[in-house]
Amino acid sequence: MELAAEETITSAEAKTTRTVTGSVALLDGLIAEGTEIVFGYPGGAIMPIYDAIYDYKEKLTHILVRHEQGATHAAQGFARTSGKVGVVFATSGPGATNLVTGLADAQIDSTPLVCITGQVFSHLLGTDAFQETDVINITTPVTKWNYQVTDAREIPGVLAKAFHIAKTGRPGPVLIDITKDAQLQKFDFAGYVPCNHIRSYRPKPNVRKEYIEQAAELINAAKKPFVLFGQGVLLGSAEQEFKAFIEKTGIPAAWTILGAGAIATDHPLNMGMLGMHGNYGPNVQTNSCDVLIAIGMRFDDRVTGRLDKYAKQAKVIHLDIDPAEIDKNVKADVPVWGDCKETLPMLTALCAEKQHPEWQAEFKALAKIEQEELIDKELFPGTGELTMGEVIQHLNELTNGEAIIVSDVGQHQMVACRYGKFNHTRSNVTSGGLGTMGFGLPAAIGAKFGAPDRTVVAIIGDGGFQMTIQELGTIMQSGVNVKIIILNNQFLGMVRQWQQLFNDKRYSFVDITSPDFVKVAEAYSIPGKKVTEREAIKSSLQEMLQHDGSFLLEVMVSKENNVFPMVPQGCSVSEIRLK
């Protein structure tokens, strides 16, 4: 009979025990899991763990954030660029509740986190003690799994389960709430045993070969096949398998906002971004293809527009590791359950080697229309007010598509994702499903720790920047090298765009006043510069990139420049507007 992870301790290990506190057992477990960095903020209920980590300074790097939400976003950025599990510490009460936004963001974007929260003494649970909240019930809807520990002996096994659940299958955030007495309690610790199996938890569904065969049959017969790929390709580390599949079949492919970077931006079969502000061709052709192959994406509303008018002419093949996503929004003719790193090679082997020159030419014709009517004007305006697009274009030229771009949420996010060049996987870090303003700055901090040898550039709007501006203190104290570009249009731009287009320019509370961002940065010992003239953009970007350390560049862009194309809410993807 197969044993649960916490039961699989060998007799030799069982004899080698030492008496430790729950806090020490936790830290030993984190190190055993390969954790090198923790983002957190101390407090009374988690003080025993912080006392213990004082002796682990050479083994664990702790980054002191300025707000617990910043810790979760930093851990997300770290996880997204490193491919590892992000780890967060927070205290009870407001410390724990401040994690909720980041947990929700990580849950919907499938980011693996393990969050450790302190809790009041177990005998005080349920008494409304100082800084007590029911963090388990509060976080249940926004975590993949959570658990409250009241006995230190549970800590090794629970932590092992947490890491296993967070990083396997469809990844996600896990929270462990540990009472203060459990952190202080001593017990005989027999050593940490990683978890590789939990009864009733099946992270990978069994692959059914008959569905692979049916999918291959549809693909081989297709005249106008089209691939939609999402973050599942990156999470499955299946970039090479995906590239082999589209190159053998010759199928044009387009990406969701979190799928960017799975293949290089300039790959000949990369047709661009899907969705509300995606590229013209991929949206229009979704309603023209005869076979639609979705890989590691979930058909969210920003991609599909009106579901009753979405790809009704096409046979749909859906590859996903999470069975709950199959048929949730779009009915699949062929469901292919499983890890795409496993299913894609099986599918590729059965697919005929093909090219689809006429079908690809249709995409190119639509791309040319978009280029001439929209993109050239956005990226190379020449005269008039500064555009967000031309800033991204200059950044592309100077970084040659080698940088990690971390974007906040809003118009600048759509521009950064649409026009950014991504030559490598895990280069686009943004808040996709939850759309969290304030994500960008702390996520960029974490992204740099996750990929220390790469240039990390944060693209942030003037509104979102002020939501987590305090994390400049984290940059100052940690010395992390993050390049920050604020695209300042003096508005909450995306909301203003909607109010302009759909509410007769009734600009209701979107005109935002901001401080002198350069002076604020300088107060945190971060040099900065403000750009108002087109001629200064490129040289200022170059100065930012060449500076040894963090740098803030504020660019004053057009106040009422809109992001197009756009699929208006309630419309079909084929009703996408270029202006």
Q: What is the dihedral of CA 34, 39, 44, 49, to 10 degrees?
A: 10
Strand partners, 116: 89, 176
**Catalytic residue of the set 180, 224, 448, 529:** 180
**Catalytic residue of the set 494, 517, 544, 566:** 494
CA distances from 503 to 144, 188, 496, 540 (A): 39, 66, 9, 37
Question: Is 355 considered catalytic here?
Answer: no
∠ CA 168-169-174, rounded to 5°: 55
∠ CA 385-387-391, rounded to 5°: 125
Helix (H) or strand (E) holding 240, with range, is: helix 239-249
The CA distance from 88 to 76, in Å, is: 10
Coil, strand or helix at 335: strand
Q: Who's near 450: CB < 8 A, 6+ residues apart?
A: 77, 78, 79, 80, 81, 82, 84
CB 429 within 8 A of CB 410: no
Question: Is 517 considered catalytic here?
Answer: no
b/e per residue 221-244 (b: at least 16 CB within 10 A): ebebbbbbbbbbbbbbebbebbbe
The one-letter amino acid at 59: K
The CA distance from 3 to 387, in Å, is: 60
Question: Is 68 considered catalytic here?
Answer: yes
**Catalytic residue of the set 13, 59, 130, 223:** 130
Which pair of structure tokens corresponds to residue 560? 């009422």
The count of other CB atoms within 10 Å of the CB of residue 531 is 22
**Catalytic residue of the set 6, 84, 121, 131:** 131
CA distances from 192 to 37, 59, 134, 184 (A): 19, 16, 28, 18
Which pair of structure tokens corresponds to residue 193? 């045993």
CB 241 within 8 A of CB 248: no
Question: Is 556 considered catalytic here?
Answer: no
Question: Is 494 considered catalytic here?
Answer: yes
Residue 88's φ and ψ, nearest 5 degrees, are -130, 140
**Catalytic residue of the set 33, 68, 378, 471:** 68
Q: Which residues are catalytic?
A: 68, 130-131, 180, 494
